[in-house]
Structure 1
Amino acid sequence: MNGHKDYEFLNIEQRKVMLTYFSSFVRKLPISYITFVYRRSRFEDPARLMERMGRDISSAMIEHLGFFQSFDDVKVYYDNGQDIVKQALDRSVGKVLSKGVVRRRKTSMTDYRLEQVADYLCTIELALVKCEAKENGKTYNKFFGGIGSFKRNWLKQARSKRI
């Protein structure tokens, strides 16, 4: 959205069109997702935050255990952006699912479309958090419009994929 790296030569309208196409692609995928939101400032230290993340991931996986057990393999893709997230994922998934079905892969955003989809869905969820906290900037408004338009269009479409 911000026009960095490969997108720096595209104007906002071109990037908006690409985002709309990608949104359409996501809408057609047979996927489900869940997100968690944390404010680091609300935790005494990183260990408490990681503990909370791990507990939330484990709880969600147990709540939807049948869904996860319906697959022969569960692949955990993480770009190692934040070590605390990687550790919480590794511990939680390892606790809930049999070690034989879990495969871990270090990835790059350009390697896997599903990782791009995950990033898109997290961007939509983060946009809601920022809008509600009145922290959304000009970029969000340019891409999504006001909060009403954002909720009716972008958020509604993304949330139709939530577990």
Structure 2
Amino acid sequence: MVNLSWWMREHLLPSLWTNRSLSREVKVPAQTVSFSITVRELSIFADESGTEADTSGYYLLTLVQHDQSEDVTGPISDYESALRIRGLTDIPMHSSPLLRGNEDYENLDVALRLKYLFAFNAFALRLPIHYRSFVFERKTAPGLEALQTVLPEALRSFVRSNLEWLLGFDQVKIYYDGGQPTVEMALREVFTQALARQVSVFKPGGFREYRLAQVADYFCTIELTRLKFQTKSATHTDLLFFQSKRDFQRKYLNRVRKKWIG
């Protein structure tokens, strides 16, 4: 009789450390044993609104989470087709410049920019993703030192609340463009400590490289706009694109919030 425990330890398990997925036949005397192992991966795309030292009313961090077993190629293909049908150039979505009409959108009128907004909103709502935004008021976190304290605390609370779900993945990949050191340090510190038994991979990635990074940026803008309508500080640009608080909630916020993770 073959000692399968010894054989697996000596021959199969070492290969698991180097193979992303393994599906193979292993022959042992007088029998064939088939193994199939699937590695579950989670991608997290981070984006922020505000800077570490500015004086705006709020600082936001948004995390978009995607279980890689859920296909996104269909919605992405449909979005790109929708742009072509409307005669729109595939500009990497960047919400604030879109609303303000600068950077890549500098020479586009409001009507054209609205078409981009409608198309991207429809795309984001179709994706099999979830998100969470963290809001920090400047009056309670007025400077860099305060932000360096409250940001990791908020992330730890989120991770604790969702730890069982997070531990269901074999690998967690966190994408961030590295634009603000405080954010990058908090992400690395919290996720590395919480998921110590797993492989936490940190990758550079911004809105020009990844569609889901564009979604993180868009959801961050939606949450910031919610705060501005809530505090009656909506700008002329907000009203131009979202019309009113009621219209914004009905057409955008309520639909996006269906993807909120607690």
Q: Which structure 2 residues correspond to residues 25-44 of structure 1 after superposition, within 5 A?
A: 25-43=123-141
2:225 is the counterpart of 1:113: no
**Change over 3 Å in CA distance of 1:99–1:145 after alignment to 2:** farther
Instruction: Give the Å deviation of 1:28.
Output: 0.8
Distance across 2 between alignment mates of 1:134 and 1:85: 28
The aligned amino acid for 2:199 is V
Q: Is the 8 A contact 1:73 1:103 kept in 2?
A: yes
Q: Which structure 2 residues correspond to residues 4-153 of structure 1 after superposition, within 5 A?
A: 4-43=102-141, 45-98=143-196, 100-153=198-251
SS of residue paired to 2:247: helix
Instruction: Give the Å deviation of 1:45.
Output: 4.1
**Change over 3 Å in CA distance of 1:135–1:82 after alignment to 2:** farther
Q: Is the 8 A contact 1:58 1:95 kept in 2?
A: no
Distance across 1 between alignment mates of 2:144 and 2:125: 35
SS of residue paired to 1:36: strand
2:257 is the counterpart of 1:159: yes
Instruction: Give the Å deviation of 1:143.
Output: 1.1
SS of residue paired to 2:232: coil
Q: Is the 8 A contact 1:130 1:136 kept in 2?
A: yes
Partner of 2:19: none
Q: Which moved more, 1:148-157 or 1:132-141?
A: 132-141
Distance across 2 between alignment mates of 1:54 and 1:10: 39
Instruction: Give the Å deviation of 1:71.
Output: 2.5
Distance across 2 between alignment mates of 1:115 and 1:99: 26
Runs of 4+ aligned structure 1 residues displaced above 4 Å come to none
Unmatched segments (≥5 aa) in structure 2:
1-98
Instruction: Give the Å deviation of 1:142.
Output: 1.0
Instruction: Give the Å deviation of 1:44.
Output: 5.7
1:1-33, Cα deviation, whole Å (9 max, x unpaired): 222221112111111111111111111101001
Distance across 1 between alignment mates of 2:115 and 2:204: 30
User: What percent of counterpart residues are identical?
Assistant: 35
Is the helix fraction higher in 1 or 2?
1
Partner of 2:33: none
Is the strand fraction higher in 1 or 2?
2
- Mark the structure with the bigger radius of gyration: 2
The aligned amino acid for 1:83 is P
Q: Is the 8 A contact 1:35 1:122 kept in 2?
A: yes
**Change over 3 Å in CA distance of 1:60–1:146 after alignment to 2:** same
**Change over 3 Å in CA distance of 1:99–1:123 after alignment to 2:** farther
Instruction: Give the Å deviation of 1:47.
Output: 2.5
Instruction: Give the Å deviation of 1:116.
Output: 0.3
SS of residue paired to 2:130: coil
Per the normalisation by structure 1, the TM-score is 0.92
Distance across 2 between alignment mates of 1:15 and 1:135: 22
Instruction: Give the Å deviation of 1:108.
Output: 2.6
Unmatched segments (≥5 aa) in structure 1:
none
- State how many pairs are aligned: 163
Distance across 1 between alignment mates of 2:225 and 2:139: 19
